[in-house]
Structure 1
Amino acid sequence: MDVLGLIIGVVVLAASTHDNAAGTTLLDQAAERCGNRLEKALVDQGFKEQVLIHGALLGIDVEVVRRNREDHRQGFVPQPKRWIVEQVNGTLMLHRRLAREYDHRPDTSTSRVYWASIANMTRRLTTPSPAWRDTLGLAA
């Protein structure tokens, strides 16, 4: 779960686990860490009514973000509300240990996500804001 690029919670489960299990666990983490300051959570279409009900019990308005049906462009079309999350996931994948699943324990994977997030935030706070090409070593 993410707010302006800051990670609030991380849940790592087996690939066979349904999104609803991750969603309810993540909402519990977010509610515990943010208290009553968290008012709304945006989820994708993979989440079912169980997550919406669980969010309502916690006092969190859970909104399902659907793809714009009027947009008939082919390929990847960024969704404005989900773009921040996609950016954070993209920057986390620049860390080698997260690009491939080397760990067998979910708690180890979870700690590596937090580690990569801390490294990203430290880099943002200590260096001037370069162009995105400069961060990937592609600048001419």
Structure 2
Amino acid sequence: MLAGMDLSLWPRVRKLFVDWGYRGLKETASSLGLELEVVARPYAGVRGVWVREGAEVPEIPRERGFKPLPKRWVVERTFAWLGRNRRLAKDYEENPGVSEAWVYLGTLRLLVRRLARAV
């Protein structure tokens, strides 16, 4: 995935925020000069604790309620805003350039609404 990327197209990209499933790409990213930050919950991967019979079970701290993950929440929120546009709710376009144009139009719509509210 990263190995075939032409990073000259994105000269300002220095850091990648990835989900827990992409944590194995750290070496590949560092060889390309990129910093990879894995965004995950602090208790990811913890399903239970093995203890000997009769031993005391350690308490695993868990946070209650909704806690948005840093940086990932920004991306999820943006996709939700773009999904409110009828043409961006589903990906029916065959040409990626058309999809890109609709994303630009969707973000333009968001910005115009924000400017109209500010006046």
Q: Under a length normalisation based on structure 2, what TM-score does the superposition of the two structures give?
A: 0.61
Whether contact under 8 Å (2:20, 2:40) holds in the other structure is yes
Cα pair distance change 1:49/1:30, threshold 3 Å: same
Structure 1 residue ranges (4+ consecutive) displaced by more than 6 angstroms after TM superposition: none
Aligned to 2:117: 128
Higher Cα Rg: structure 1 or 2? 2
SS at match of 2:79: helix
CA positional deviation for 1:38: 3.5
- Structure 2: gaps (5+ residues): 44-60
Deviations 1:17-73, CA, capped at 9 Å, x for gaps: xxxx3xx38xx477633x2x43322111132423x3343233220111111314354
Aligned to 1:40: 15
Query: Where does 1:36-115 land on structure 2 (aligned, <5 Å)?
Result: 37-50=12-25, 52-69=26-43, 70-73=61-64, 77-115=67-105
Deviations 1:102-138, CA, capped at 9 Å, x for gaps: 22333432332233223323433x2235xxxxxxxxx
Alpha-carbon distance in structure 2 between the residues aligned to 1:121 and 1:60: 31
Question: Root-mean-square deviation (CA), in Å?
Answer: 3.2
Whether contact under 8 Å (1:31, 1:58) holds in the other structure is no
Aligned to 1:6: none
Alpha-carbon distance in structure 2 between the residues aligned to 1:56 and 1:99: 35
Cα pair distance change 1:122/1:58, threshold 3 Å: farther
- Structure 1: gaps (5+ residues): 1-20, 130-140
RCO comparison, higher one (Cα < 8 Å, 6+): 1
Aligned to 2:56: none
SS at match of 2:21: coil
Amino acid at match of 1:113: V
